[in-house]
Structure 1
């Protein structure tokens, strides 16, 4: 993690006058580089803070490297990037006049200022020569003839995180973790009273690494081969906000990756108690970004008990066709219950909605099903999100004769030889029917 470091004048021997350091605490960096780096950490900054310093970000410059740190006391985001202090024909003279420093600036105003500069504009950040960890005052930010002065708070008041003891860890491709989180995040509960469901349950299971989410009405489970070190990783619940921050950073790392180079990887580490996690990955400009986050202190329920093991009936259908039909029928679904009926009959499923204030609608779809006629009700939004998370062309809905039992949903690969086929992909979902 970033550490506070402040250059101080060195006192001479006893009786000798102290040599004054005439260098200025300042740095220069391209607006686009700083803007991208700032964007990577401001995701953890809350819009409203009762503690003013939490609306700020710490900028620390050491050896021509800039480190940005932001926190909400549950998540710390740290971003590293190179400055342009060594760029330009005047770099030798420039380096002779600058010294390392750290300042605590308001995150959103700084982001707004940088947004007004051209990406290639050279931005200079300069603080008064007398600054130390307790200093508060104004820091100058300028590019070309534009100059802004932003109020800075004491760096000593900012709650920087100390060193984290690492007990377990593993490394995997950024794309693999991004796909896994995107596949299950729609089922994260937003019910704050059941806080232990407000995140992704990340845990080893034999030789697999699993990510599970549920809100009590649905379940999403992503299973992949565990990377080296995952078997000894503690079972943790990664908070919803941490997941949102990580998804943006992982997407940035993937987007910026060189197609000819090795795919970017993310390092995932935990302390012995599993109370804190650290994620470190490449940033867009060649630097690094890391997230240190507290996990949710709670017990995730045993989700295995709600997964139908061997459902008696199965209906398979094109995923995109079913998703489009659900979207159309949802137009008339009641705003509160969002209820939709699905009637299963041999070779066919019929979707229907009825809302007293609006009217009704129905649509028939061909499907592979040879069981008895069964009618179930579902939350239309849950159905859309379930189908949106599945990557395969065909989806299988599996259920037992009891129309109120859990329905198992997964991608499906039909057997080319005329057999039944099989589930495919790392994602398994369960959705509970609703009474209509």
Structure 2
């Protein structure tokens, strides 16, 4: 294989594929990127960790000898990153080695044969629909902070996608770690009818989000079955196995009878929580909210660091009471509120609280209280 490619093009492709590759691998070829040069002048880069696979196709400056080879993804990425801007990079693979040449720089890297490289067999992906890149960004940003990191509850280690028939056909995305729940509801895209319930793993979500940053206002093709999902974003194709598990019936924890309503400026609320949480420690992450008519007092008490309190204005007309929340969880939710007002629907100090911008908002959050 022998091909020449612009450094910027090579770097862009490698930045996408190398992040899929795990730093530590017991199987040597999984540390490599597969490079395929075709006679039509295209270069194809592919990387996998056996659960997630990315393929990106780029135009080469020239392809002298078509062929394919695998080489260390991280090493090639670091080389491309350090080469001068505007340089042409020649990749020449033969006899178990690959020569990388750009300007006065020369690198010789060991290679492994293409035939040993594993490929995820997609099988049939019967459900197929398109989403705007902006809609996918919204789904990811407004839910992924609630994905559980507990490996024992593996079925919570991703975003749950499913369709429903509420007052209209919808596509819903939900994530929870047992302490908080985030859900986004969008109009159901054409082709998503009859879609199986799927859990998209955390790593796939992270890689997809990076790719979406470059997609602007374009559309993304989504193809899925009960076990795999594929996202096509222009020149990049991301394929992932889905989490084989059952997501809990989260609708049961969304409160419907919380009768105490607090309306508050999310930025002022966020800044107040952040300030008083300065003295909170790992053990005392709880921020106490004392609610009175149109006044909220935030406070933190830490045996090691002392106390902090701040008053924040808000609209509240129900009976006064106190409730505690994990400061980090509350800040994560408030950070995703775009409007000028956020609604907290409360019941009592031990019941889950519903948080949303308003009843028309696409995103909804549920937060479990803490004892304070």
TM-score, normalised to structure 2, is: 0.97
How far apart are 1:310 and its partner, in Å? 3.2
Q: Equivalences for 1:282-297 in 2 at 5 Å?
A: 282=234, 288-297=235-244
Aligned counterparts of 1:390 and 1:290: Cα–Cα separation in 2: 31
Question: RMSD of aligned C-alpha atoms?
Answer: 1.1
Is contact 1:30-1:119 (8 Å) kept? no
Q: In structure 2, which of residues 160, 180, 187 is the aligned counterpart of residue 201 of structure 1?
A: 160
Q: 1:241 maps to which residue?
A: 203
- Cα deviations across residues 257-277 of structure 1 (Å, max 9, x unaligned)? xxxxxx311011112xx1000
Q: In structure 1, which of residues 120, 124, 143 is the aligned counterpart of residue 90 of structure 2?
A: 124
Q: In structure 1, which of residues 156, 170, 184 is the aligned counterpart of residue 129 of structure 2?
A: 170
Q: 1:18 maps to which residue?
A: none
**In the alignment, is residue 74 of structure 1 matched against residue 51 of structure 2?**
yes
Q: 2:181 maps to which residue?
A: 219
How far apart are 1:239 and its partner, in Å? 0.4
Please say which of residues 73-82 and 304-313 is displaced more in the overlay: 304-313
Is contact 2:162-2:195 (8 Å) kept? yes
Q: In structure 2, which of residues 167, 172, 175 is the aligned counterpart of residue 210 of structure 1?
A: 172
Aligned counterparts of 1:110 and 1:170: Cα–Cα separation in 2: 35
**In the alignment, is residue 403 of structure 1 matched against residue 362 of structure 2?**
no
Q: 2:363 maps to which residue?
A: 427
Q: 1:156 maps to which residue?
A: 115
Q: In structure 1, which of residues 302, 315, 330 is the aligned counterpart of residue 277 of structure 2?
A: 330
Q: 1:102 maps to which residue?
A: 68
TM-score, normalised to structure 1, is: 0.83
How far apart are 1:163 and its partner, in Å? 4.9
1:172 counterpart SS class: strand
- Cα deviations across residues 122-175 of structure 1 (Å, max 9, x unaligned)? 0000122xx6xxxxx210000011110011011111102345312111101111
Q: Cα 1:163–1:395, aligned 2, differ >3 Å: closer, same or farther? A: closer
Q: 1:19 maps to which residue?
A: none
Q: Structure 1 regions of 5+ residues with no counterpart?
A: 1-24, 86-94, 132-136, 255-262, 283-287, 413-422
How far apart are 1:104 and its partner, in Å? 0.2
Q: In structure 1, which of residues 363, 379, 387 is the aligned counterpart of residue 326 of structure 2?
A: 379
Please say which of residues 345-354 and 161-170 is displaced more in the overlay: 161-170
Aligned residues: 368
Q: In structure 1, which of residues 21, 29, 33 is the aligned counterpart of residue 5 of structure 2?
A: 29
Q: In structure 1, which of residues 383, 391, 394 is the aligned counterpart of residue 338 of structure 2?
A: 391
- Cα deviations across residues 5-50 of structure 1 (Å, max 9, x unaligned)? xxxxxxxxxxxxxxxxxxxx20000011001011111121111111
Q: Cα 1:215–1:41, aligned 2, differ >3 Å: closer, same or farther? A: same
Aligned counterparts of 1:281 and 1:119: Cα–Cα separation in 2: 26
In terms of fraction of residues, the more strand-rich structure is: 2
Q: Cα 1:154–1:337, aligned 2, differ >3 Å: closer, same or farther? A: farther
2:193 counterpart SS class: helix
Q: 1:91 maps to which residue?
A: none
Moved over 3 A (4+): none
Q: In structure 1, which of residues 261, 265, 281 is the aligned counterpart of residue 219 of structure 2?
A: 265
**In the alignment, is residue 231 of structure 1 matched against residue 193 of structure 2?**
yes
Aligned counterparts of 2:130 and 2:99: Cα–Cα separation in 1: 40
Is contact 2:280-2:300 (8 Å) kept? yes
2:148 counterpart SS class: coil
Aligned counterparts of 1:244 and 1:321: Cα–Cα separation in 2: 30
Is contact 2:122-2:228 (8 Å) kept? no
Q: Cα 1:83–1:307, aligned 2, differ >3 Å: closer, same or farther? A: same
Aligned counterparts of 1:196 and 1:360: Cα–Cα separation in 2: 39
How far apart are 1:233 and its partner, in Å? 1.6
1:252 counterpart SS class: coil
**In the alignment, is residue 192 of structure 1 matched against residue 151 of structure 2?**
yes
1:351 counterpart SS class: strand
Aligned counterparts of 2:122 and 2:321: Cα–Cα separation in 1: 58
Aligned counterparts of 1:425 and 1:280: Cα–Cα separation in 2: 28
Please say which of residues 389-398 and 211-220 is displaced more in the overlay: 389-398
How far apart are 1:342 and its partner, in Å? 0.3
Q: 1:258 maps to which residue?
A: none
Is contact 1:308-1:406 (8 Å) kept? yes
